Each structure stands twice: as C-alpha cells, then as structure tokens.
Structure 1
Amino acid sequence: MQWSWHPVQLSFFVATIATVCTFLFAIMAVYWMIRKKRKGKAIFETIFFLPLVLPPTVIGFLLVIIFGRNSWIGNVIESITGNSVLFTSTAAIIAAIVVAFPLMYQSIKTGFLSVDTNVIGAAKVDGATDWMVLVKITIPLSVRSILTGVVLGFTRGFGEFGATLMFAGNIPGKTQTIPTAIYLAIETGATNIAWYYVLISISFSFVLLLLINRIRTDM
C-alpha cells in the first residue's frame, strides 16, 4: 500500500457535504418536532437516535438494503443516474449523514428549546410568521448550540468507518477515506502509512474539539 492524499481529500469532501445536508435535515426535523405537540413524537425521536446505539455494521447493512439494486429506492436512483449508489462517494456521504444526524439534531433541539417562549410570543403578536420567527429569532438565539452541533456532526462524519466500509467499500482512489485507509494499511502491514493517517485524524479531531470548547466558553 502506498501513501496517498486522496483518502484525506475524500474524507474532508464527504464530511463537508454530509454536514451541510445533515444541518438542513436537522433544522427541519427539530422545527417540525417542537412546533406542536405531535402524536408518536417519542417513536420518531427514537428512530432519529438509533444510529447512536446501533452497531455500524447494522447501519451499513440497512443502507445496502435500502439503496441496493433490489430496492425500489435503489432502482429509481439507478434509472435516473444510470449508476448504483453502492460503492461510490455518494454512499460514503449518505453513511456520514446517517451517523451524524443524531448529534446535530440533539444539539440544535437543545438550542431551540432554550429560546425564551415570551420572545417568540411577542414576535408573533407583532405579526411575525413562523418562518420569520425561525430565521430571525430562533436560529440567531440558538447559534452556539447550532455551531456545536455542526462541529460534532462534521467530526462524526469525518471519522465514520463501519457503515462506510459496508456501504461505500474501500476502493483506493474512489471511496477510500482516512478510516478505511487506516484499516487497509494495518491489514497489509503498512504501519508507517497507517500512522500518517492516524496523526492527521487525531490532529484534525483535536482542533475541532478545541473549537467546540471555545464556542461554549466565548459565546
């Protein structure tokens, strides 16, 4: 096995795209869940948090079943794009979204629930719509929790391994990320190369965690 920058670049790309998508999904999910009392809320939130407790191999297996060629979702995607999602960088992004979603959802939810309801009520009395309240009041007042969720989600997506290995594979130059590159390096006895990827991963994770601490203390 030879050293390559591709796993590093792909890891950053996957984590970035996944973070953007997860942020949008989490904002919509939190807003939908806390806006009104909804039946089955506990069931929905249990489903949201399942990726936190399920083994990564189970998540990878479910993604293969859902997006594989034997599923209607997989068939629709393949008919539109001409290719299967399996063993592509898109699969790595989907896996990162799934595992990062619970962390970002919980952080954003905490921020939204911390907003003073009197402020929201006053804004609605003045004629603000729900959308205006969300964009101009709730999100700005929750910015610290949102930023924490974004960083945590990015870190989780950046380090995703198990589900990615099953769903996207470990194809050098195509779907190989830092975690899967470390796995292959160990398997092939290339310990020195594994150390390079490990040090990059540790350094970057350290910086992100330090950023989270700064966000919590400075804002």
Structure 2
Amino acid sequence: MTEEVNLFPLFLSVKVASLATFIGILIGLPIAYYLSRSKGKMNDMIDSLLTLPVVLPPTVIGYYLLVLLGRESWIGKFLEKNFDIMIVFTPTGAVIAACVISIPFLIKTARAAFTGVDKDIIDAARLLGRTDANIFFSIIIPLAWRGIASGVILTFARALGDFGTTLMVSGSIPDQTITMPIAIYDAMQEGNEELTNILVGIMTGVALTFLFALNRLEKKMRKGEH
C-alpha cells in the first residue's frame, strides 16, 4: 500500500523560501551595494557579522533568534502585548529564520557583482547629472544582474533546504510550521522509510526543477543581450 503523503510541508517550504528570498532582495541588495562602495574597519565588522550565519551552526543561529524574538524577550513581549503577534513557533518565525540563514549568500554574491562594475561608467553617469538612485537602477543593476541572479538562486535554495534554524524558531507543529526538511527528519525518526524516501524524492525533484528552470531563463536572457 502506497504511503499517503501530506504535501503541506512542500507548499510551506516553497512559500517560506519565496518570502525569505523576496525579503533578502529588499534588504540584501542595499547592504551589498554599501559594502561594495565603502572601506574601513566598520565595513569589515559589518561584513563579519553578516557572514556569521554561514559559519555558525544553524542551531546556534536559531538560539540567538529565540533569545531575540522569543516571548520573554523585549521584542516578543512588545509584539504580543500591543499587537497580539507571536513570532516563535509560527510560520512567520520560519520565514525570519530562513531569511537570516540565507541572506548572507545574496549579500556576498551581489557585493562581488557590484564591485566588478567599472567605476569609470558610474563617474561618467554622475558627470551627466544622473542621480545615485538612477545610476543604481539603470546602470549598476543591469551590469551586475548575473551575479545578483546567482545570489538569488543560492538564497532561495538555502532557504528551501534549511532545517536547524527553522526547527529551533518555528518548531514542528503539524499543518502549521512543518517544512519539508523537518517532515523528512520526522519521518526518518519514526522509522517510516517509505515516507522518508517519497519526501526526499519530492524535495530533490522540486529543487532540480527550480534550478533547471532558472538556468534556462538565465541562458535566454544572455542570448537576448547578443
């Protein structure tokens, strides 16, 4: 008899990864651009702090988020008292966890892409009276888009596959906060090999389909430039 599969974890994982990537773009691109144009000890300190989620174990990042956003923290108390909002053990917590753990990949990749943009082009645009905002969106983004696109792909993939941080912050509540990596872990812990294999196959298929589609889109965009 074939194991009945609950696809809620898959839909939640895609939703969480999509929201985390969108938030990462809004926050990460300005930070990456700032880091690419500034120098000094403060710049190095900011870069080091932003890279911590890549170096530290996911459970450590999850613990920090629990301390910062939990019900006993000042942020948690403020949100619950004034807006009746709880972050931990909710889908919102899963999005925040995925965003924190994945955004460094976008910042690192986009920063390298921004650094590679010829400064002479930017200076020439300024001499022509272009504003910084106009230069950023009409010149820098188009010239750095390949690096940014790679960062977006890495960010989505990292958010989609996160386990430790998400589990620490959002927990494992059926049909509420269980993402695919957590569902796979739970099935394996229960000794349900059939369900584990099905979930692993679905997760692998979704990831490969997404990456293949993005790679094809990138190639079409490159051809359109020539």
TM-score band, normalised by shorter chain: over 0.9
Deviations 1:5-53, CA, capped at 9 Å, x for gaps: 1000000100000000011111111122233335411111001111011
Give the aligned partner of residue 24 of structure 1: 26
2:18 maps to amino acid: T
Aligned length: 219
Task: Identify the range of structure 1 (200-209 vs 105-114) with the bigger mean alpha-carbon deviation.
Answer: 200-209
Mapped to 2, the partners of 1:105 and 1:53 lie a distance apart of 15
Mapped to 1, the partners of 2:110 and 2:161 lie a distance apart of 21
The percentage of aligned residue pairs carrying the same residue is 37
Mapped to 2, the partners of 1:86 and 1:112 lie a distance apart of 35
Q: Is the 8 A contact 1:88 1:174 kept in 2?
A: yes
2:116 maps to amino acid: S
**Aligned CA-pair RMSD:** 1.8
> Runs of 4 or more off by more than 6 Å in structure 1?
none
Give the aligned partner of residue 64 of structure 1: 66
1:93 maps to amino acid: V
Mapped to 1, the partners of 2:174 and 2:18 lie a distance apart of 20
Aligned residue among 128, 131, 145 for 1:129: 131
Deviations 1:168-188, CA, capped at 9 Å, x for gaps: 001110000000000110111
Deviations 1:152-194, CA, capped at 9 Å, x for gaps: 1000000000011111001110000000000110111221111
> Structure 2 regions of 5+ residues with no counterpart?
none
How many Å apart are 1:2 and its aligned residue?
5.5
Q: 1:72 to 1:208 in 2, by over 3 A?
A: same
Aligned residue among 59, 78, 84 for 1:76: 78
> Structure 1 regions of 5+ residues with no counterpart?
none
Q: Is the 8 A contact 1:11 1:158 kept in 2?
A: yes
Give the aligned partner of residue 203 of structure 1: 205
Q: Is the 8 A contact 2:37 2:115 kept in 1?
A: no
Normalised to the residue count of structure 1, the TM-score between the two structures is 0.93
Deviations 1:112-160, CA, capped at 9 Å, x for gaps: 1111111101100000111111111111111111111111100000000
Give the aligned partner of residue 7 of structure 2: 5
- Counterpart mapping for 1:55-204 below 5 A: 55-204=57-206
Q: Is the 8 A contact 1:148 1:212 kept in 2?
A: no
1:128 maps to amino acid: R
Mapped to 1, the partners of 2:141 and 2:35 lie a distance apart of 15
Normalised to the residue count of structure 2, the TM-score between the two structures is 0.91
Aligned residue among 20, 36, 39 for 1:34: 36
